[in-house]
A and B are shown apart, each in its own frame.
Chain A
Amino acid sequence: MSTDTELIARVLIEDDQQAFETLVKKYQSPLRNFFRKMCGGDENLADDLAQETFLKVYRGLGQYNGQAQFLTWLFAVAKNVFYESLRRQDQFSELEDVDDEGRESGHDLNMDLSKCMMKLSPDERLVLTLSYMEGLSQTEVAELVEIPLGTVKTHALRAKEKLKNYLIAYQSRSL
């Protein structure tokens, strides 16, 4: 099986789309999961953003310098796509607004967590998702998101504190 570097070289030199498809198949799952968490479980929106990310990756593959792992670079592109989508339209505020109405439909813990995640700021959500989903260290997250390490630590602490409070509130309301 070809390594990422070999696949990338084939895409860049020979414009080999099969090699790029192999990369897509390999990394589609973590990327789509990432966007699902960032979009409050909206699978359609998450897949649209994942597709947009792969398209940007295909166009900008020449800029990948091979210093970081390909997945890390992919998440850096995904982060930009996510922020662009936030700027483009206010879709996420709608998702945040429906949480109290949707709560009646079920009290599954994952659903509660998903809704609580959407109450966090995009930066806090991003830091938590990258830290827990991909198991990145806070230093790696800081490099990827391009913010100081201290800010990452603050976001992580604040996010967990907020989540804890939201979950306690949710649980007390659902009992």
Chain B
Amino acid sequence: MTPTEELFRAELVALLPRLRRFGRAITRHREDADDLVQVAVVRALTRREQWEPGTRLLSWMFRIMNNAWIDEVRSRKRRDHLLSSEDLENVASASAEQHIESLEVRKAMERLNEDQRMVVGLVLVEGLSYKEAAQVLDIPIGTLTSRLARARDQLQALLAGPAVNRMETA
């Protein structure tokens, strides 16, 4: 076992919380999110030699998750099993009362399309720069920013009304 391999696995473990958070943002469903993280970890370990040391492992993991999720969505569509957002009511769990706004944000996120959730997940949830996010998704920065702008407009529209007013006066 080389030091590089040990570092790789140690870093992977350290990244798990953020991978789960990103997974939650893009999949809309807790179990899907954790499945996705699990798949990504397995893929990362099998393809470890494809990761270039010195590049950011987090971005590489997001990229793997992104691709795995696209595969999964396609395969579910083929089988007509794509989850409807009615399946997703349990996201809020016990903290619903304290986090009404967060609940509304997550519900709004669920109504974005896959592409939009990816960009919002990377930039707003995970705080990646435009450049990093564009690299993860393998798209030009211009595409990223216009997708992000549309996603934001839609979120603003979905959240318009009581929730947004509350946020602005807070």
Query: A and B, one complex?
Result: no
